[in-house]
Amino acid sequence: MVARAALDIAIKTLPLYAHRFSPKKFTLPQLFTCLVLKQFFKTDYRGIAAILTDSPALASAIGLKVIPHYTTIQKSAQRLLNLSSTNSLLKATIEAALRKRRTVKVAALNATGLESGHISPYFYKTRLNGQKSRKWTHFTRWPKLAIIVDVDNHLIDSVYPTRGPGRDSTHFKDILNRLPPNIDVKHIVADAGYDAEDNHIYAREILGIKTIIPPKVGRAPRRFPKKRYRRMMKLHFAAKTYRKRWQVETVFSMIKRNLGYCLYGKSQQSQNCEMFLLAITHNILIVLFFLFVKELFYRAEKLYKHEMSANYVL
């Protein structure tokens, strides 16, 4: 089901081939489906090639007559998971889930860190308890995934891969600019890490999105901010709407439990591609859930009509 859903979305979004003189052994939608399956099975490029080899039914569901080499899948990730293709694929998953609805009442924004190595948390904790004088430079920089989530259905509307540590407010404008143009976001909620007057001005006056961010950066709790929108947040804070911000933490939990929190890529570019793939695969799973719920309602309605007709005959 995951393979067929990914293939259906890719066929609607991607061209069949990258070039008219390509070998035409595999289509771009087929290679994208292999990437989604790689993320779904929490494996690497060699692992998904082995899984497809051992699962003829899975390969036939994608339409593969020959299993691609793992290097072919790896090179296709660099071609398919760029910014323009990722935005198109995210937009296709959102349209598949929302159908005709294009309004997002409340969206939540936050960022989380991911692992870039394969060291077990137990070994790292044991090393820290040993009180070694030398610090690990391996953990001074790490992949950081920022997302905007629709709090009503946990769909990811925008993705921005970056590096940590760093201030969250620096990527606020960039991730808002990556929202699909056909999606109308009414409110966006974020924690105090995004508190900045420039962010309020950009979202409210340029994009027309109402921001709800607690003004807790750089001021004492009892003093009122001098800037217009930060002062408005202090005086008239929409606490009821802000409580929905925790839905973005739920999405982070879903991603890390279902798809993993460790990236296999070593370079920053490959890690960014994997973070894009995490978001797209998560949306595909949400689309499958909607289809499952729709099928349940259809069967329940059919059973109800059958019982009503039987009672009428009796």
How confident is the model over 146-196, as pLDDT tens digits? Answer: 999 999 999 999 999 999 888 899 999 999 999 998 889 999 999 999 999
pLDDT digits (tens, 9 = 90+) for 85-126: 899 999 999 998 888 778 999 999 999 999 887 777 777 777
Query: What would the mean pLDDT of 210-217 be, rounded to a whole number?
Result: 91
105 in the same domain as 25 = no
123 in the same domain as 38 = no
104 in the same domain as 48 = no
pLDDT > 80? residue 140: no
∠ CA 181-182-183, nearest 5°, is: 95
Is residue 39, in this structure, part of any structural domain at all? yes
pLDDT > 60? residue 221: no
247 in the same domain as 148 = yes
Rg (CA), the chain: 23
Domain range enclosing 164: 97-268
pLDDT digits (tens, 9 = 90+) for 10-61: 999 999 998 888 888 999 999 999 999 999 999 999 999 999 999 999 999 9
pLDDT > 50? residue 137: no
126 in the same domain as 152 = yes
Answer yes or no: are the C-beta atoms of 231 and 258 closer than 8 Å.
Answer: no
How many domains does the structure of the chain reveal? Answer: 2
Q: Give dist(CA 97, CA 85) in Å, integer.
A: 19
132 in the same domain as 72 = no
∠ CA 66-70-74, nearest 5°, is: 120
Single residue among 45, 80, 115 that ends a domain in this structure? 80
28 in the same domain as 166 = no
Query: What would the mean pLDDT of 241-247 be, rounded to a whole number?
Result: 95
Is residue 211, in this structure, part of any structural domain at all? yes
170 in the same domain as 74 = no
Q: Give dist(CA 60, CA 54) in Å, integer.
A: 12
- What pLDDT is stored for residue 122 in this prediction? 75
Is residue 91, in this structure, part of any structural domain at all? no
User: Domain containing 170 — which CATH number?
Assistant: 3.30.420
CA dihedral 139, 141, 142, 148 (to 10 degrees): 140
- What pLDDT is stored for residue 70 in this prediction? 95
71 in the same domain as 134 = no
Is residue 192, in this structure, part of any structural domain at all? yes
Q: Is 67 helix (H, G, I), strand (E, B) or coil?
A: coil
- What pLDDT is stored for residue 139 in this prediction? 60
In 103-183, beta strands by DSSP E: 103-113, 142-150, 156-164
Q: Give dist(CA 232, CA 240) in Å, integer.
A: 16
